[in-house]
Amino acid sequence: MLEIEGLQKSYGKVKALEGIDLHVAPGEVCGLIGPNGAGKTTLVSVVTGLRDADAGSVRVAGLDAASNRKGIRGIIGCAPQELGLYPTISVRANMEFFGRWNGVRGRRLSTRIEEVADALDLASLLDRRAGDLSGGQKRRLHTGLAMLHAPRLLFLDEPTVGADVVARMRLLEAVKRISSQGCTVVYATHYLAEIESLGASVAVLEAGRIRERGPLAEVVARHGQSRAELEFSGDAPRLAGWQQKGSRLSIVTADPASATAAAIAKLNGEASRLRGVRIVPASLESAYLAITGHGPDIMEENNAQA
């Protein structure tokens, strides 16, 4: 459904994309992750036609995106990071306008508005002014506008920023449902747990390059690291091979259970201060840390009340 080859984009002397290759199959959810400034938003903008590439090619459903922008307009849906709503009109009116703009009219438009509103928990808000919504509600509406014409390829850039836990779950459920119906989704986010919840494949973008690409389980298997943590009352004791920080000891190891048992046996009199043991299995976060050298950036959530 999406074929990106050798994509390059620079802003002056700054290279935002340096030869991106990325293929995403029909019905696949591809989690696009990477640190701030990695090029995620630029990549989405170029693929959806909001920006021109300096070099490389993009094909959507077999069509060259650069020469067939009109042809792929009905195929692609995009909810960019920046909100795009008309604040002075109702939620329903926003959905009607964007639906018609994408070629949906009549009874089908009414049906799609009801379906999308129900999927994203917006049904009770249809007659409310968009400008009066909370930050999370606006984000859900923004996402819904991109889904109205039932696109075959959907780009979501930080779709859950500002959403509460329930709204986040509803959106993830909606993404799972549309992908099961054949829609391809490129899901750019800083929230790695969402990628795990979606069971998405992973593309790690850093400094304008794809550093890792593959199914979630394979990426975690290749790079993920399990660890053990011991929590003490007061400062943790020193123990060879373990990292001490405040009241906690931690170790990265392929066999955290055995490492924990061996450590407890060496505590002697300090064992009475042990308050907790935690085994943390390999995860996308640990794989991301191994690939990029640092943890995920967490975006500030302004207007988080949904």
Q: Which pLDDT band, with edges at 50, 70 and 90, does 244 fall under?
A: very high
Residue 62 in this model has a pLDDT that exceeds 70:
yes
Find out whether 75 and 153 touch, Cβ atoms under 8 Å: yes
For residue 306, the model assigns a pLDDT of 40
* Percent of the chain clearing pLDDT 90 (strictly above): 72
Give the integer Cα–Cα distance in Å for 76 and 122: 22
The tens digit of pLDDT for each residue in 81-100 reads 888 899 999 999 999 999 99
Degrees to nearest 5, angle at CA 88 with 91 and 45: 70
Average predicted confidence (pLDDT) for the chain: 91
Long-range contact pairs involving 12-17 (C-beta distance under 8 Å, separation at least 24): 15/208, 16/42, 16/208, 17/42, 17/43, 17/46, 17/53, 17/56, 17/208
User: Mean pLDDT across the stretch 136-160?
Assistant: 92
Instruction: Break the chain into its structural domains and give their ranges.
Output: 2-221, 226-281
Report the C-alpha dihedral over residues 108, 160, 192, 48, rounded to 10 degrees: 50
User: Mean pLDDT across the stretch 156-161?
Assistant: 89
- Token pair for residue 283? 């995860």
User: Mean pLDDT across the stretch 280-304?
Assistant: 73
For residue 109, the model assigns a pLDDT of 96
For residue 299, the model assigns a pLDDT of 42
The tens digit of pLDDT for each residue in 251-265 reads 999 899 999 999 999
- Residue that the structure tokens 């604040």 belong to: 87
Helix axes of 165-180 and 135-147: crossing angle, nearest 10 degrees: 10
Q: Which pLDDT band, with edges at 50, 70 and 90, does 302 fall under?
A: very low
User: Mean pLDDT across the stretch 300-304?
Assistant: 38
Give the integer Cα–Cα distance in Å for 130 and 121: 14
For residue 80, the model assigns a pLDDT of 87
Residue 300 in this model has a pLDDT that exceeds 60:
no
For residue 57, the model assigns a pLDDT of 93
Superfamily of domain 2-221: P-loop containing nucleotide triphosphate hydrolases (3.40.50.300)
Give the integer Cα–Cα distance in Å for 301 and 306: 11
Report the C-alpha dihedral over residues 205, 146, 84, 130, rounded to 10 degrees: -130
User: Mean pLDDT across the stretch 153-165?
Assistant: 88
Give the integer Cα–Cα distance in Å for 223 and 289: 9
Give the integer Cα–Cα distance in Å for 72 and 106: 22
For residue 73, the model assigns a pLDDT of 82
Residue 16 in this model has a pLDDT that exceeds 70:
yes
Among the listed residues 303, 301, 295, 302, the one whose alpha carbon sits nearest the alpha carbon of residue 33 = 295
Find out whether 23 and 2 touch, Cβ atoms under 8 Å: yes
What predicted TM-score, i.e. pTM, was given to this entire model? 0.84
